[in-house]
Amino acid sequence: MGVNEGIMEWIQSIDIKILTGLRDVFNSPWLDKPMMFISKLGDSGFLWIALAVIFFLVGNKKKPWRGWGILLAASLGANALLCNVVLKPMVGRIRPYDLLGYEVLVSHLSDFSFPSGHTSASFAGATAIYAMNKKWGIAAFVFATLMGFSRLYLGVHFPTDVLVGAFLGWAMASITIIVFKRCTSENKCRIKSN
C-alpha cells in the first residue's frame, strides 16, 4: 500500500467514525422531516437559482438587485462546473450508504459523493449574498450550514464531502466576486438596471 492509499484509508476511517457518531447522536424522528425539507431545497440548486432569478427580475435603477442576481448565478455556475462536472466524476467516491449498507430516508442518488453539491452550492450562494448584503448573508450562511448538516444527518455524504464542498463553494464564489467587481468597476461588462 502506497502513502497516498494509506492516507486515503485513514481519512475514510475518520469519516466513517464521525458520520456514524453524528447519526447515532442526532438520529431522531422529529428531525427527519425538517432535515429532508432543508435538503430538498438544495436539489439541483433550486433555492439559490430561484433567488438569482428573483433578484434579477426585481432589480431596477433604485435597487441594484439585477446585478445581485447575475453575481449569484455566476457564482453558482462556477461552483457547479468545478464540483459537479469536474470533481465528482474525477474522484468517484462511493456514497456512504452504499459503502456501509444502511437505509436512508431519501432516494439513492446516481452521482458520486465527493464533494457535496448541495453544500457547495449553498456556500457559494451564501458567499455571494454576503458580498451584497451582510445581514442576508449571515442568514444564508446559517442556512448553508444547516444544508451541510442535513446531508450528514441523511447519511448521503461523508464529513469531508461536506467540509470540502463548503470550502469550494466559498472559494468559487469569492473568485467570482473578485472578477465581477473588477469587471463592473472597469465598465467592461456594465450591468444596466433598465
Give the residue numbers annotated as catalytic, written as ranges: 118, 157
Residue with cell 432543508: 38
| Cell triple for 27 | 438520529
| N residues, the chain | 194
Residue 125 is which amino acid?
A: G
One-letter amino acid of 67: G
Q: Hey, is 153 helix, strand or coil?
A: helix
- In angstroms, the CA 48 to CA 151 distance is 17
Does residue 159 contact residue 19 with C-beta atoms inside 8 Å?
yes
Q: What is the rounded distance in angstroms from the CA atom of residue 60 to the CA atom of residue 71?
A: 15
